[in-house]
Amino acid sequence: MVAMSGGVDSSVTAALLTQAGYQVIGVTMEIWPKDLIDQTPGSRCCGLTAVEDARKVASKLGISHYVVNLREVFARRVIANFCQEYARGRTPNPCVRCNRYVKFDALLAYARALEADYLATGHYARIARDEVTGRWLLKKGVDSRKDQSYFLYTLTQEQLRHILFPLGELTKERVRKIARELDLPVAAKAESQEVCFIPQNDYHRFLRRNMPGSLREGPIIDQQGRVLGRHRGIAFYTVGQRRGLGVATGKPLYVLALDEKRNAVVVGPESALYRPALVAGDPNWIAIETLDHPREVQARIRYRHREAPATVVPYAGDQVLVRFAAPQRAITPGQAVVFYDGDTVVGGGTILYALDEGKKGKNEDNGE
């Protein structure tokens, strides 16, 4: 079964698998709330246009095509969480959750219901088998600019066993070329990068519409707790943000943290954005069974972040401590931190908070 959005990547995925001799079933998910579709006529992803585009591609490839309604799980697991996280002063990553709960759980269940051996998507990532441990591995796509392994770190062994990422071995250029060669009706389409369910990418308006109750004004304070101004609700701010603070001082100020308890936006100089360590929760391990001792990794703290050398250490409860070789700019709670060993995803987790040097966790040396 191939998840088809009507876009180039998933269309080529379906085409490649059909050519390779697989018996392919195309499926398009309907995940957006209905009112959003009405608001966004002609929207590319997930709306009616997407369904029609996917249907045309499927018909061209001569495969069956179905539409499945996953609105409920998407609303609950992705949209509701997105709003809650912002209300708590975090910056969530909805794509990670969509992969985790919608594509590779709810949709994968459909694939299994149809006795499909695999669910394939147009993600730029690769799956391999570790010959020694027998574990399924997640690796970066060969096109480093398009690599999407960051969004897939939550995949379990059971899920990986049933997934195909045929585009992982290809560059985007090559994928576009294949689309043109096969005369797929989507070859000329543009990319979409925004949060797919937010109209015009205006997430301020989206939050105002969807969670007006939790947007409370509050103080903007500096690191010493001095009030410098007022903010419109911590949900509207992100760590590392500089513009739009409305605070006039001599030096440029940046958002350092969002303090949910005090409903405060904490600001300071750019230098204070650099932090040497972080604590992440809800980890998932792919290359290893579990983290039982400190490991040297390359850690990525957001999608467009250059990986940084770090040590990842078991921490209190189910958490992990990540200590970077050099301080990292704008460690943002809510984003995913993903650990790499070369091209291989070791695992990842959700960033809970940044830590300063000196304040080392109690358990960090007990790992061994």
Partner 1 sequence: MRRIYLDHAATTPTHPEVARAMLPYLNPEAFGNPSSAYTFGQEAKRALDEARDKVAALIGAAPEEIFFTSGGTESDNWALRGAAYARADKGRHIITSSIEHHAILDVCKLLEQDGFRITCLTVDRYGFVDPDDVRRALTPGTVLISVMHANNEVGTIEPIVEIARVAREAGICFHTDAVQTVGHIPVNVNELGVDLLSIAGHKLYGPKGIGALYIREGTKMAPLIVGGAQERGMRAGTENVPGIVGFGKAAEIARKEMPEVLPRIRHLRDTLIEGLTQNIPGVRLNGHPEQRLPQNVNVTVEGVEGEALVMALDQEGIAVSTGSACSTGATEPSHVILALGVPPGEARGTIRMTLGRDTTAEDVERVLEVLPRVIGRLRAIAGWRTARQCTGCG
> Torsion-angle region of residue 200: left (phi > 0), alpha (psi -120 to 50) or beta?
left
Written in H, E and C, the secondary structure of 308-342 is EEEEEEECCCCCEEEEEEEEEECCCCCCEEEEEEC
- Please classify residue 226 by burial: count the beta carbons closer than 10 Å to its beta carbon, then call 0-12 exposed, 13-18 middle and 19+ buried: exposed
* Total residues at interface with partner 1 (CB under 8 A): 25
Based on CB atoms, which residue is closest to partner 1, 46 or 182?
46
For the window 70-109, what string marks contact with partner 1 as x by the rule CB under 8 A?
Answer: -----------------------------------xx--x
How far is residue 103's CA from residue 124's CA, in Å, rounded to a whole number? Answer: 15
By CB under 8 A, name the one of 35, 41, 42, 113 that touches partner 1.
113
Catalytic annotation, pick one of 46, 83, 95, 98: 98
State in angstroms the smallest separation of the CB of 57 from partner 1. 14
- CA dihedral 265→267→271→272, nearest 10 degrees, is -50
CA nearest 124: which of 92, 156, 147?
147
By CB under 8 A, name the one of 2, 8, 51, 286 that touches partner 1.
51
By CB under 8 A, name the one of 33, 56, 60, 68 that touches partner 1.
68
Give the three-state DSSP class for 257: strand
Query: How many helices and strands (H and E) does the chain possess?
Result: 10, 17
CA nearest 31: which of 2, 51, 15?
51
Based on CB atoms, which residue is closest to partner 1, 29 or 186?
29
The two tokens of residue 179 are 């689309």
CA nearest 314: which of 269, 270, 275, 362?
362
State in angstroms the smallest separation of the CB of 46 from partner 1. 11
Cβ 70 vs Cβ 128: under 8 Å? no
Based on CB atoms, which residue is closest to partner 1, 152 or 267?
152
Catalytic residue list contains 196: yes
Restricted to residues 148-187, the positions that interact with partner 1 (CB under 8 A) are 156, 158
Catalytic residue list contains 98: yes
By CB under 8 A, name the one of 45, 66, 208, 211 that touches partner 1.
66
Q: Contact between 25 and partner 1 (CB under 8 A)?
A: yes
State in angstroms the smallest separation of the CB of 116 from partner 1. 9
Q: Contact between 48 and partner 1 (CB under 8 A)?
A: yes
Q: Which residues are catalytic?
A: 98, 196
Binding positions for partner 1, rule: CB under 8 A: 25, 27-28, 30, 34, 48, 51, 55, 64, 66-69, 105-106, 109-110, 112-115, 156, 158, 282, 318
